[in-house]
């Protein structure tokens, strides 16, 4: 049953694992990115295959429909330009008032649109990979928002072409969150049930926290990773824990983490 060849194979596998697990973390992450890059040609093929039905649909769209869409987009563009002009004026006023009060100026954030190219194949992590990497100026710990502007996570690892984003609800993505209520309660978002991706746990709340379902939850700006005021979700329910010494709540996320296709990366 146990031939010499079997012993050799067993030994080789054990040796490979021991070498891999004992490598320094930097070398491991480089090796991981190198192995992951084997899949790059398939990303391109899959992207092209996904794009093909949309291109076909566009090519058979009637001219009248296209003109209608152009007209609608022009109107929307005009409205957005007006809103942007207002926002610029408000930002300028805000900077002036901050200057008068001697507060630090707000650093403007830039947004970069990225496509979600794949999801974590393991059920015990919540990560996705996006098609922006260090060549696009992406760095670790940059906040990531959904296409609608809701918080979805942060950049965890960056390679030249791709980046790994760890999503809210993963044990490695903890977010300091502020509840929009009279008490301005602050807690920390952490992992919850592995199956339901729309709910996350909000812990470390004081026992006097006055939480009601439907209250909005935003980033608090504490911790230095996420800027203040990014919408996260709404309070779903709350209950006292630790014999009434603390409160714990569940937050229904605004972003649909299971259907992410495009995300914004906030670049300072």
- 28 touches other proteins by CB under 8 A: yes
If binding is defined by CB under 8 A, does position 100 make contact with other proteins? no
240 lies in the site for other proteins, by CB under 8 A: no
Residue 33 binding other proteins, by CB under 8 A: yes
Per CB under 8 A, the list member of 170, 178, 219, 230 interacting with other proteins is 170
CB of 32 or CB of 112, closer to other proteins: 32
Among 44, 194, 223, 229, binds other proteins (CB under 8 A): 194
132 touches other proteins by CB under 8 A: no
172 scored as a contact of other proteins (CB under 8 A): yes
Tell me how many residues contact other proteins (CB under 8 A): 50
**DSSP-assigned letters across all residues of 14-76:** HHHHHHHHHS-HHHHHHHHHHHHGGGHHHHHHHHHHHHHHHHHHHHTS-HHHHHHHHHHHHHH
Q: Which is nearer to other proteins, 196 or 242 (CB)?
A: 196
Q: How many angstroms separate the Cα of 147 from the Cα of each of 4, 57, 264? A: 57, 23, 6
Closer residue to other proteins (CB): 11 or 229: 11
- Is 126 a residue that touches other proteins (CB under 8 A)? yes
- Using alpha carbons, select from 73, 50, 171 the residue that is nearest to residue 122: 171
DSSP 82: H
Count the Cβ atoms, other than its own, within 10 Å of residue 261: 10
Report, in Å, the least distance between residue 91 CB and other proteins: 37
E strands, the chain, in order:
110-119, 127-130, 143-146, 151-158, 163-167, 175-179, 186-190, 199-206, 216-219, 231-241, 246-253, 262-267
Q: Rounded to an integer, what distance in angstroms lies between the CA atom of residue 219 and that of residue 186?
A: 9
Chain residues binding other proteins by CB under 8 A are 1-2, 5-6, 9-10, 12-14, 16-17, 20-21, 23, 28, 31-33, 35-36, 38-39, 42, 46, 118-127, 129, 156, 164, 166, 169-172, 191-196, 258-259
């Amino acid at each position: 049953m146990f031939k010499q060849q079997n012993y050799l194979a067993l030994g080789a596998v054990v040796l490979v694992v021991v070498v891999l697990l004992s490598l320094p973390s930097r070398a491991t992450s480089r090796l991981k990115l190198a192995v992951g890059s084997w899949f790059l040609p398939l990303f391109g093929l899959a992207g092209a295959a996904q794009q093909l039905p949309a291109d076909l649909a566009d090519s058979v769209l009637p001219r009248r429909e296209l003109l209608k869409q152009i007209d609608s987009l022009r109107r929307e563009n005009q409205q957005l330009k007006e809103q942007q002009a207002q926002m610029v004026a408000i930002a300028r006023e805000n900077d002036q008032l901050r200057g008068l009060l001697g507060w630090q100026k707000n650093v403007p954030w830039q947004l970069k649109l990225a496509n979600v190219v794949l999801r974590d194949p393991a059920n015990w992590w919540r990560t996705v990979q996006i098609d922006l990497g260090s060549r696009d100026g992406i760095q670790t710990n940059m906040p990531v928002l959904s296409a609608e502007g809701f918080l979805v996570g942060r950049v965890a690892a960056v390679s030249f072409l791709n980046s790994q984003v760890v999503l809210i609800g993963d044990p490695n993505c903890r977010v300091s969150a502020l509840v929009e209520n009279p008490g301005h309660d602050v807690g920390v978002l952490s992992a919850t049930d592995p199956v339901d991706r729309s709910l996350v746990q909000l812990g470390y709340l004081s026992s006097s926290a006055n939480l009601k379902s439907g209250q909005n939850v935003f980033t608090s700006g504490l911790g230095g990773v996420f800027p203040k005021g990014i919408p996260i979700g709404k309070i779903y329910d709350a209950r006292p824990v630790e014999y009434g010494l603390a409160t714990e709540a569940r937050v229904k996320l605004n972003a649909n983490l299971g259907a992410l296709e495009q995300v914004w990366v906030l670049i300072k």
